């Protein structure tokens, strides 16, 4: 059984934002940091690369990727930025870069910046929420695709609306000349991911969310035709000189992007093992239990709020969003007043997002192995009082 360092006085219903890491994995990270500080040169120049290769092959096996096509990045945002930088030479003024209305804001910003630099247009597919099924997403995305579409950014699991997008169907329907970048920030560890089978050009995702690795561990997978021209968002030695021990030009671009604390990515193999041994049945059992719990938690919220399910349960992994009554007084704070009240008065960490725009909003719950159904009952009690429900 994995154990966690989480504050027991708090109800943690937001694994989705920054994850949480089991004690055993954090112990390895501390050990690696001690080794690094006892001899930084030995650690960086001799230990780092072989340890990275072990994590690369374990992670590649887990997500159905070939290790040759997989590199570590610090986070999904960096993965998206690296891809956009890598494809700039392929873009022509007037080309269209597609995102959706549910694309994660930081990554949408990265596409907006690329569009501005290259003279391309940003095209936004308006995906509804609540939605009746995966076809709502497929239709919205394919509805904005034109012969000028050069790149489509698809979130595998969306952030504010917390649904699994039908990326397989969308990719299959697109012309192969369209470059698809999948932002799978939430996907590995939440749902089965088979990167190579998807047919995308690029797939980036976090390990520090549902794989429970330490913060600063993520990956980027690049399909074979794009590997030679891929560059990291931070260009370093690999651009001309290679990097000692890196197996290819592509790996060298990303294996060293400047001195940093590499211990998070060196713990990925351990986090795969620790969570994989947490339940008999391994990762499949963990994912299924988290899904079941988030659906049960969502059912409690739906009943308390007297609303219909805003998305079918089949579109959920282990996060779920529900609309809550609009914010009564618009606030200047980046935190919704309800998030603050739940944090301050009830010791519940749960995010509330303005959606589709303030004052309308969504509350998003997560379910991870440290959560129990009672956590969601406590949330319902708190909401009943804060929102004067019932
Ligand atoms: C869909 C999606 N993409 C990207 C990110 C960004 O992750 P990071 O901050 O680790 O880069 C998130 C974070 O929640 C996300 O939900």
DSSP string, 165-207: --HHHHHHHS-TTSEEEEE-TT-BTTB---HHHH--SEEEEES
Is residue 238's pLDDT more than 80?
Answer: yes
Residue 253 burial by Cβ neighbours in a 10 Å radius (0-12, 13-18, 19+): buried
User: 234 with 301, same domain?
Assistant: no
136 lines ligand 1 (CB under 6 A): no
Q: What is the mean pLDDT of residues 156-160?
A: 98
CA distances for 187 relative to 164, 167, 192, 310, angstroms: 9, 12, 8, 20
Asked if the structure places residue 18 within a domain, the reply is no
pLDDT for 30: 98
Flag whether 249 is in a domain. Answer: yes
CA distance 96 to 90: 12
- Of 243, 274, 305, which closes a domain? 274
Q: What is the mean pLDDT of the chain?
A: 96
Instruction: Give the CATH number, domain containing residue 348.
Output: 3.90.1150.170
Output the pLDDT for position 96: 98
pLDDT for res 243: 79
Letter string b/e over residues 130-147, b meaning 16 or more CB atoms within 10 A of that residue's CB: ebeebebbbebbeebbee
Strand 149-155: give its sheet, edge to edge: 70-73, 218-222, 202-206, 179-183, 149-155, 96-100, 121-125
**Which residues touch 21 (CB under 8 Å, ≥6 apart)?**
4, 5, 29, 208, 212, 213, 214, 215, 267, 271
Within a domain: 1: no
Tokens of 235: 């260009």
Tell whether 14 is covered by a domain.
no
Q: What is the residue range of 292's domain?
A: 279-386
Nearest to 165 by CA among 147, 145, 144, 185: 185
Cα–Cα separations (whole angstroms), residue 25 to 22, 28, 318, 340, 365? 5, 5, 22, 31, 25
205 Cβ inside 6 Å of ligand 1: no
Q: Is 155 in the pocket of ligand 1 (CB under 6 A)?
A: yes
CA nearest 230: which of 90, 131, 381?
90
Residue 171 has a pLDDT of: 98
Both tokens assigned to 320: 């779920």
The Cα 153–Cα 100 span in angstroms is: 8
The residue from 245, 274, 303 where one domain ends is 274
Q: Is the CB of 107 under 6 A from ligand 1?
A: yes
Task: Examine the domain organization and report whether 233 and 295 are in the same domain.
Answer: no
Q: Which tokens sit at 306?
A: 């007297």
Considering the domain architecture, whether residues 287 and 263 belong to the same structural domain is answered as no
Q: Is residue 16 part of a domain?
A: no
- What number is the average pLDDT over the span 279-283? 95
Domain membership flag for residue 6: no
Average of pLDDT values for 326-344?
Answer: 87
CA angle (89, 86, 167) in 5-degree steps: 110
The answer on 60 and 142 residing in a single domain is yes
> Do 68 and 133 belong to one domain?
yes
Residue that is last in its domain, among 233, 254, 274: 274
Looking at the fold, whether 227 and 285 belong to one and the same domain comes out as no
Considering its fold, how many domains does the chain have in total?
A: 2
Pocket test for ligand 1, best of 77, 110, 158, 188 (most atoms within 8 A of CB): 77
Q: What is the CATH number of the domain that holds 152?
A: 3.40.640.10
- Examine the domain organization and report whether 317 and 344 are in the same domain: yes
pLDDT single digits (tens) 182-224: 999 999 999 999 999 999 999 999 999 999 999 999 999 999 9
Is 96 close to ligand 1, i.e. is its CB under 6 Å away? no
Q: How confident is the model at residue 2 (pLDDT cuts 50, 70, 90)?
A: confident
Question: Residue 5 domain-assigned?
Answer: no
Residue 135 structure tokens: 């076809």
* Residue 105 domain-assigned (yes or no): yes
Query: What is the mean pLDDT of the segment spanning 101-113?
Result: 98
Query: 331 pLDDT band (50/70/90 cuts)?
Result: confident
Is 262 found in the same domain as 294? no
CA 160 / ligand 1 centre spacing (Å): 11
The Cα 267–Cα 51 span in angstroms is: 9
Q: Is 219 in the pocket of ligand 1 (CB under 6 A)?
A: no
Whether residues 205 and 224 fall in one domain: yes
Which pair of tokens denotes residue 41? 């040169």
Q: What is the pLDDT of residue 166?
A: 98
270/284 same-domain check: no
Instruction: Classify 92 as helix, strand or coil.
Output: coil
Nearest CA to ligand 1 atom 12: 185
Helix, strand, coil shares, percent, the chain, to 5:
45, 15, 40
Same domain, 213 and 341: no
Same domain, 288 and 319: yes
């Amino acid at each position: 059984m994995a154990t966690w360092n989480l504050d027991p006085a708090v109800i943690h219903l937001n694994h989705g934002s920054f994850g949480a890491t089991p004690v055993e994995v954090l112990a390895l990270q501390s050990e690696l940091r001690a080794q690094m500080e006892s001899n930084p040169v030995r650690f960086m120049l001799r230990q780092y690369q072989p340890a990275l290769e072990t994590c690369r092959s374990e992670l590649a096996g887990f997500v159905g990727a070939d290790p040759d096509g997989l590199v570590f990045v610090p986070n999904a945002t960096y993965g998206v930025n690296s891809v956009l930088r890598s494809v700039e030479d392929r873009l022509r003024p007037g080309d269209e870069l597609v995102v959706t209305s549910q694309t994660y804001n930081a990554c949408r910003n990265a596409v907006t910046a690329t569009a501005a630099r290259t003279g391309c247009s940003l095209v936004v597919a308006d995906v509804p929420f609540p939605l009746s099924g995966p076809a709502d997403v497929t239709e919205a995305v394919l509805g904005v695709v034109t012969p000028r579409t050069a790149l489509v950014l698809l979130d595998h699991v969306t952030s504010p609306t917390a649904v699994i997008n039908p990326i397989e169907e969308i990719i299959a329907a697109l012309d192969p000349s369209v470059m698809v970048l999948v932002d799978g920030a939430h996907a590995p560890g939440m749902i089965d991911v088979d990167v190579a089978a998807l047919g995308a050009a690029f797939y980036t995702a976090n390990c520090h969310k549902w794989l429970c690795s330490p913060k600063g561990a993520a990956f980027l997978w690049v399909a074979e035709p794009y590997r030679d021209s891929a560059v990291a968002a931070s260009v370093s030695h690999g651009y001309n000189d290679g990097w000692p021990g890196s197996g290819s030009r592509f790996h060298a671009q990303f294996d060293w992007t400047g001195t940093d604390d590499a211990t998070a990515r060196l713990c990925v193999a351990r986090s795969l093992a620790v969570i994989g041994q947490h339940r008999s049945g391994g990762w499949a059992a963990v994912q299924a239990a988290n899904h079941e719990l988030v659906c049960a938690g969502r059912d409690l919220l739906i009943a308390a709020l007297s609303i219909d399910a805003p998305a079918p349960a089949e579109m959920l992994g282990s996060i779920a969003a529900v609309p809550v009554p609009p914010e009564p007084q618009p606030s200047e704070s980046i935190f919704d007043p309800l998030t603050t009240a739940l944090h301050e008065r009830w010791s519940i960490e749960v995010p509330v997002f303005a959606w589709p725009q303030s004052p309308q909003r969504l509350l998003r719950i997560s379910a991870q192995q440290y959560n129990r159904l009672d956590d969601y009952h406590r949330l319902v009690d708190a909401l009943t009082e804060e929102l004067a429900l019932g």
